[in-house]
Amino acid sequence: MSDSTPTGSSTPAGGPAVGQDEWVARHAAARVFKSGPLASAEDRLRQVPWWAWLVLFLALFSLLPLVESSGYVRRVAFDTVLYMLLALGLNIVVGWGGLLDLGYVAFYGVGAYAYAILDSPKFGIHLPSLLVVPLVVIIGAIVGLLLGLPSRRLTGDYLAIVTLFFLQLFQTLTTNGDSAFGHNITGGPNGILNVDPFHVLGHDLAVQHQGVFAVAYLYVALGIFALVYIALRFVNRSRTGRAWRSLREDPLAAEAMGMPVSWLKLMSFSFGAAVAALTGTVFAALNASVFPLSFYFVLLIIIYTMVILGGSGSQPGVVLGAIVVSPALELLREPSKGRLLFYIVLIGGLLLMFRFSRRLGLVAGATFVLGLVLHVLASAHDHRWVAGEHAGGFAGVVGHWVVVPSHLASWIAPTTYIGLIAAVLLLTLVSGWLRLVLLVPTLYLAAFVWENVMLAKPEPARYIILGLILISLMVLRPNGLLGERRVEIV
Amino acid sequence: MSSAPAPLLELREVSLAFGGLRVVSGLDLHVDEGEIVSVIGPNGAGKTTLFNLITGIYRPDSGSITLAGDSIVGLQPHQISQRGISRTFQTLRLFLNMSVKENVMAAAYGHTRAGVFRSMLRTPGMRREEREIEALAEERLAFFGKRLMGYRWDQPAYSLSYANRRRLEIARATATNPRILLLDEPAAGMNPAETHEITELIGELRTAGGYTILVIEHDMHVVEGISDRVVALDHGVKLAEGSFESVATNAQVIEAYLGLQTAATK
């Protein structure tokens, strides 16, 4: 958005604050760096147009397969692009329309299933991709419209319940769709198999190339992402986009200012659904199969996490959210990498909390010493107390600090776990020096629980870590990483 | 205007009850083209309800509301807005997390056409319309002198001071290109200087903007300064109507406002 402010140098020059407006203006124009080359670099950085950022981002992402040949990494990158698309779609409904849509994942499923039915041996239909993908997008938009119709008078909690019900309905229908009126349509829990890959003009876009994940799909997904991003950005800066955001801010005022609120709600539902369905086709084509359980509640939570974490309403924000959360979830699958992330979160949280103050040194130092002392005491008491195994990743360092017994008594895991939760809750209740003092054993307890309890169960652990990241970020940056500052209507 | 045209806005025998509570009963009201009519009355008299009836937020139980002779009862609020009735809110309802300029641009929705797909492709027609919307917003904001100009355009509406928020509400309301403007307590919460300014501004809205204006106001100086005609309401019933002097000296109006126990002197 190139603004042509006629008054030119807009910020009022120094002198006493004149009023609230002026104060806010000056505050908004303030730079992180006050002067020097960094300040001018910051100014220049702010003038980089949005499309330059997009091109840079796409270029860097496209380079990834050249520097990284591992099929696994490429696959994670591909999944991340899918998440980016899903987050962009959800952002239409949640970030712009301001509607709490808990059925969003069902539209993703609708897209994937529609593609699978229209392009698989299941019914012997094999439509060309260039036909089937737009078709599925339209189907997704229509399903979104249909769900929107009964919900258009609902807001907030009521809308959330209805859309959640829709997700459940989708689950039930697909799971039991192997005997719908005597016909097997969805394949039930076994899903639909042997779905065609994308095929354009007689050429199949193979999923695997010499046994490794085919990069082509990453580029296809990136291309779709770029198109969706640009199209949505243009819509956001049109009368429709402004109307969507007006609806989010104040539906009654929007209606009174000539905007058809019900219709706008339907549209935002429908467009969100269309983007989800589009993503579903890529998902189905790559995986060559669809199952009901691929589109369940956990996925919904993950997409919401991305949107909220990145900054609901901001396109670059939700994309960044996807880029942070998707690889983080992958990293947490492996205990050794999960450990790295855990300590990064712990230390990062401390840094954000105390900045670089003396208290940070005190807490970190005290925690370190506490660990060493406990470790020495434990090993002096009984060597088995510290003889536990550490799996992978800088285990040596941690092994001299956290007590990891070779055999854990059955009562220890639940006790320490609940103890940690209690300690964290207690932390939120106390303040001042008491909090500092309490923080030290809590940190150590967290490390202990991580090493002894959570590492043994990586699957729940990764969601717990995700939750922790989310909680701490929401406290520190309530509007998300790139979110605009927000105020609620009083 | 010819001598006996239909009034621009006319309410006849309009009644509305919430359950057993009669908020507006048998109200007649008309506003002629180019007029400024003030509605006064104590709190709870039904003034804002009147606005909500006219703008379609409530539907009257009985009676008719016409705009230039056409009934608008039963229309959706956005349809009524598109036909030429715009309003401000007593409890400011700005789009707080949108920029000042966008607040005004958003209100141009009703009289612009570009659809979503044209917006996605940024067709030349859509871009031309966008430029028109932007020019319209800038013009409407310029109406308030320097108050809403310059760097304020790109600031979120929540950053505005209270008086500027009231101004922005008026700017937004005029961006729907209305024929009649309903202002709900435009001077509420303003200091004497700002009140004076808003009084002049309402006059300018008529002379320069060409709007017909129906205004709810408590500040009697404002009412005196702007009104061609004053309507006094209490308990949803019209107590008096006429020039400011005649209404302000009306015994019933004074009783309703001050609660004088005139009956005691009987």
Beta strand pairing call for B180-184 and B212-216: parallel
Q: Which residues of A touch B57 (CB under 8 A)?
A: 252, 255-256
Structure tokens at B163: 């008086």
> Which residue of chain B has the CA closest to A9?
B151
Residue A56 has pLDDT above 50, yes or no: yes
A427-485 pLDDT, tens digit per residue, is: 878 888 888 889 899 999 988 888 888 777 777 777 777 787 777 777 667 777 777 65
Cβ distance of B86 and A257 shorter than 8 Å: yes
> A468-473 long-range contacts, Cβ below 8 Å, gap at least 24?
A468/A345, A468/A349, A469/A309, A469/A328, A469/A345, A470/A305, A470/A308, A470/A309, A472/A345, A472/A349, A472/A352, A473/A309
CA distance linking residue B154 with residue B102, whole number of Å: 8
| pLDDT band at residue B117 under the 50/70/90 scheme | very high
Write down the pLDDT at residue A349. 78
pLDDT in tens, A352-367: 777 777 888 888 899 9
* Paired tokens of A258: 């000539």
| SS3 (DSSP) at B189 | coil
Does the residue B117 lie in any domain?
no
Residue with the larger pLDDT of the pair B38 and A340: B38
Of the candidates A290, A331, A248, the one whose C-alpha atom is nearest the C-alpha of residue A114 is: A290
Tokens of A132: 């089937």
User: Are B55 and B77 within 8 A, CB to CB?
Assistant: yes
Looking at the 3D structure of chain B, how many domains does it have? 1
Nearest to A239 among B108, B161, B176 (CB): B108
Q: Tell me whether residue B139 is in a domain.
A: no
Tell whether B218 is covered by a domain.
yes
CATH match of A68-331 with 1.10.357 = no
Average pLDDT over residues A378-400: 70
B220 occurs within a structural domain: yes
Q: What angle do CA A222, A90, A256 make, to 5 degrees?
A: 130
Mean pLDDT of the region A271-282: 97
Chain segment A143-159, per-residue pLDDT in tens: 999 988 887 777 778 88
What pLDDT sits at residue B159?
86
pLDDT digits 0-9 by tens, A9-42 = 344 444 434 556 666 666 666 666 666 777 777 7
CB A114 within 8 A of CB A277: yes
Q: What is the mean pLDDT of chain A?
A: 84
Q: Does B133 have pLDDT greater than 50?
A: yes
The neighbour count for residue B5, using CB atoms within 10 Å, is 11
Q: What's the whole-number mean pLDDT along residues B140-165? A: 88
Q: At B36, which CATH number?
A: 3.40.50.300
Q: Which of B54, B97, B161 to mutate to test the interface with A (most CBs of A within 10 A)?
A: B97
A279 and A303 in contact (C-beta within 8 Å)?
A: no
Question: Can you tell me the ipTM of this complex?
Answer: 0.93
Residue from B13, B8, B25 nearest B235 by CA: B25
Average pLDDT of span B87-102: 94
Q: Indicate whether B258 pLDDT > 70.
A: yes
Chain B positions in Cβ-Cβ contact with residue A257 (cut-off 8 Å): 78, 81, 86, 106-107, 109-110, 172-173, 175-176
CB spacing of B76 vs A260 below 8 angstroms: yes
Shortest CA distance from A10: residue in chain B:
B151
In a domain, B141, yes or no: no
Residue A309 near residue A184, CB atoms below 8 Å = no
What is the pLDDT averaged over residues B249-255? 89
Alpha helices, H only, A68-103: 71-90
Query: How does residue A214 score in pLDDT terms, banded at 50, 70 and 90?
Result: confident
Q: Is A233 on the interface with B (CB under 8 A)?
A: no
Residue A5, pLDDT score: 37
Closest C-alpha among B175, B163, B165, B205 to residue B81: B175
Between A197 and B1, residue with greater pLDDT: A197
**pLDDT for A33:** 62
Residue of A nearest to B170 (CA): A257
Question: Domain spans of chain A?
Answer: 27-56, 68-331, 337-476
Is B119 close to A238, i.e. CB distance below 8 A?
A: yes
The residue range of the domain holding B86 is: 9-96+161-265
Name the average pLDDT for chain B.
Answer: 91
Q: How far apart are CA A136 and CA A287, in angstroms?
A: 17
**Chain-chain contact of A252 with B57 (C-beta, under 8 angstroms):** yes
Q: Where are the alpha helices (DSSP H) in chain B?
A: 47-54, 77-83, 100-106, 116-121, 124-142, 162-174, 192-207, 220-226, 244-248, 251-258
Residue B4: per-residue pLDDT? 59
d(C-alpha B201, C-alpha B56), whole Å: 27
Would residue B242 count as lying in a domain?
A: yes
A258 → closest Cβ in B97, B105, B109: B109
pLDDT of residue A481: 76
